[in-house]
Chains A and B, each alone.
Chain A
Amino acid sequence: MERFVKMNEIFISKSSEVLKTVVGSCIALCLWDNNNRIGGMGHIMLPESNGDRTAPPGKYADTAVAEMVSKMVFHGGCLDNVVAMCVGGASMFSNHSSRIETVGIKNYRIVKRELEHFKIPVITESIGGTTGRKISMNCREGIVTISMLLKSVKKPG
């Protein structure tokens, strides 16, 4: 069975469900507990909540990671076994120079900071660039597949 993880959503599963999503500037964060065979995916939109308590916790990097960890533990996961995979943070239409941090890269930086807080190692990452990414995660096997378009992007002038 497949489930599409929408923007701001978090989904954790112990079954052979395949979680998938598409990200551009957002970050798809996958967590995997190999011993207990629990996987989860979050589709994180923005870096910091700045006290916004009305938003779903999956929306901001600083609240999403804690929420995902808490849900992994609730489903029987053990924090010591959990590893992370980060995908996304592209800058597809950005005119910013490389010295200015884009939303995508800021998202990634806060996700990393929060993962370090929980001592969760990042074992795979595919971050930045100018293309979107399609991600799927088999929650029983912990297999994450990332596909991105090989393309050239042209800007006039």
Chain B
Amino acid sequence: MLELETTHHVYSVSECAEFENKMNRLFTNSFQRAVESLSQLLTREMLITKIRIGRTQGDLYINQLEGLIEENHFSSLIKVHSYLDTFILLILPKEEGEQLYHILNGRNQADRFPDQDEVIDSIGELNNIVGLTFVNALANTLGKAINASVPENTFDLLGAVLESVVLQKELINRDIVRAEAEITDVQDPDFNVRLVILSEQTRLMEVLSHR
């Protein structure tokens, strides 16, 4: 019985199960490294409270996030193209974004509200470290050199942001792997960061099948 087909190779059910296992290990380990770097950077104990890893199509993924789609979020995107077509998105709700600015800049929250650009810069800096930690962990696990873009940052409706990521030519109309981690401050459970990874599935399967 065949479940998945790629251009070059047809994967059996057992190969697919093996792929799932390898994929789960790959993303879970990489998330763990990213959270360690986040904790160091923020000097707070951050914990992964939820990990979701699965295979889907972009439009289905976005439609599943209905409750959050209409809200404005700070987002930072890193693109990985050299070996895998992968997109790393760090997402913070508005209040958390402002809080992040104060943490990174050592300011008291009562001082003043940061303007949008200041928060956007802060989340870009955060993703530069956390997102690239994730990329490094990915590269180490795969034993491959992976190049990543500089972060592109925005503050916008979450649905519009995710839609634009899914409509990148590397993901359009393809099966994608989505891995998502919700990360929470142990001392302040209201402070949440979301790390979303969207990766083109076929290439990832090829890479993992050789490991």
List residues of A whose CB falls within 8 A of some B CB.
4, 6-8, 22-26, 45-46, 52, 59, 90-95, 103-104, 130-134, 149, 151-157
Contact B167 A134 (CB under 8 A): no
Tell which of B59, B62, B117, B157 touches A152, judged by Cβ atoms closer than 8 Å. Answer: B117
Within 8 Å CB of B167, what residues of A? Answer: 24-26, 45-46, 103-104
Q: A156 with B154: in contact, given A23-B163, A92-B161, A93-B77 (CB under 8 Å)?
A: no
Within 8 Å CB of A157, what residues of B? Answer: 150
Contact string, B68-91, partner A, CB cutoff 8 A, digits 1/0?
011010000100000000000000
Q: A132 with B59: in contact, given A103-B167, A154-B117, A155-B152 (CB under 8 Å)?
A: no
Q: How many residues of B contact A (CB 8 A)?
A: 35
Within 8 A of A (CB), among B150-167: 150-157, 159-165, 167
Q: A156 with B160: in contact, given A93-B168, A103-B172, A134-B70 (CB under 8 Å)?
A: no
Tell me if A's interface is mostly helix, strand, loop or mixed. Answer: loop
Q: How far is the CA of A46 from the CA of B161 in the complex (A)?
A: 16
Contact B164 A90 (CB under 8 A): yes
Indicate if B209 sits at the interface (CB-CB under 8 A): no
Within 8 A of A (CB), among B107-147: 116-117, 120-121, 124, 128
Q: How far is the CA of A151 from the CA of B162 in the complex (A)?
A: 18
Contact B62 A154 (CB under 8 A): no
Q: How far is the CA of A12 from the CA of B63 in the complex (A)?
A: 19
Q: A7 with B63: in contact, given A90-B164, A152-B117 (CB under 8 Å)?
A: yes
Within 8 Å CB of A153, what residues of B? Answer: 120, 153-154
Contact B116 A6 (CB under 8 A): no
Indicate if B39 sits at the interface (CB-CB under 8 A): no
Indicate if B66 sits at the interface (CB-CB under 8 A): yes
Contact A8 B59 (CB under 8 A): yes
Q: How far is the CA of A45 from the CA of B162 in the complex (A)?
A: 12
Contact A93 B160 (CB under 8 A): no
Q: How far is the CA of A28 from the CA of B72 in the complex (A)?
A: 19
Tell which of A104, A132, A151 touches B116, judged by Cβ atoms closer than 8 Å. Answer: A151
Within 8 Å CB of B165, what residues of A? Answer: 93
Q: How far is the CA of A149 from the CA of B161 in the complex (A)?
A: 13
Q: Which chain A residue has the least Cβ–Cβ distance from B157?
A: A132
